[in-house]
Amino acid sequence: MQVVVDNNGIKRYLVTLNINGDSYTRVIKANTLLVKFLREEIDLTGTKKGCELGDCGSCTVLMDGKPVNSCIVLAVEADGHEITTIEGVAQNNKLDRIQESFIENAAIQCGYCTPGMVLSAKALLTQNPHPTEQEVRTAIAGNLCRCTGYVNIVKAVLVAADEQ
């Protein structure tokens, strides 16, 4: 990894992340968290910050297809990896069926948990197109929702799976 040292002796690292299909090259400090990189360097603010400790899942993104909490991943560690954020889920201006299903099944109230929920659901359905209710619950267990009580979220994911 290429290192750039400025006049004050501060080191920065040249990283290239593939985010939602586009390549972004930036020179960043090692202490830049992935969530900060996405929100502040790339202006993709769909990824939310809640607990910032890996507990709540608001900051969930997919890294090489797997859900991770971007608040506990360093951006330098995502160098060369493929990241999908909520902005990358809709294709050709058309919402993903999971997103449609969340709307149709009233699985969104304040919406703060929704980006993370949709990405956890997306990763699940990609890997396991016809999950059981228990598998859906396990997949979203790291995404806390303070509004819905989860019932409609689980339903929305199951409905989206049925439609596949």
Partner 1 sequence: MNLPDFDYYIPASLQDACALLAEKGPGAKVLAGGTDLLNKMKHELMAPEVLISLKKLDQLTSIDYVSGKGVVIGSMATHNAISNSSLLQEKYLSVCEAAQHMANNQVRNVGTIGGNIVNAVPSADLPPIFIALGALLTLVSTNGERVMPLEEFFTGPGKTHLAPDELLTGIVIPDNSFTGSTYIKFGLRRSGALAVVGVAVAVEMDRNICKDARIALGAVAPVPMRAKKAEAMMIGNAITDELLEQVGVCASTECNPISDIRGSEEYRRDMVRVFTKRALRKAINNGHV
Ligand X SMILES: Cc1cc2nc3c(=O)[nH]c(=O)nc-3n(C[C@H](O)[C@H](O)[C@H](O)COP(=O)(O)OP(=O)(O)OC[C@H]3O[C@@H](n4cnc5c(N)ncnc54)[C@H](O)[C@@H]3O)c2cc1C
d(CA 21, CA 16): 12
d(CA 137, CA 156): 12
Task: By CB under 6 A, tell whether 40 contacts ligand FES.
Answer: no
Instruction: From 61, 59, 63, select the one nearest 49 (Cα to Cα).
Output: 59
At residue 79, what is the residue type? D
Task: By CB under 6 A, tell whether 137 contacts ligand FES.
Answer: no
Stretch in the footprint of ligand FES (CB under 6 A) among 1-9, 20-28, 47-55, 87-95 = 47-55
Instruction: From 144, 154, 20, select the one nearest 98 (Cα to Cα).
Output: 154
Stretch in the footprint of ligand FES (CB under 6 A) among 77-85, 95-103, 145-153, 155-163 = 145-153
Query: What is the number of alpha carbons within 13 Å of residue 69 lying toward its C-beta?
Result: 18
Stretch in the footprint of ligand FES (CB under 6 A) among 1-9, 77-85, 90-98, 103-111 = 103-111
Instruction: From 144, 155, 147, select the one nearest 105 (Cα to Cα).
Output: 155
Task: By CB under 8 A, tell whether 84 contacts partner 1.
Answer: no
Instruction: Classify 16 as helix, strand or coil.
Output: strand
Q: What, of ligand X, partner 1, ligand FES, none, does residue 109 touch, CB below 5 to 8 Å by kind?
A: ligand FES
**Of 95 and 144, CB closest to partner 1:** 144
Task: By CB under 8 A, tell whether 14 contacts partner 1.
Answer: no
**Which residues lie across from 116 on neighbouring strands?**
none
Q: How far apart are CB 99 and ligand X at their closest, in Å?
A: 26
Q: What is the contact surface with ligand FES in residues (CB under 6 A)?
A: 49-52, 54-59, 69, 71, 108-113, 145-148
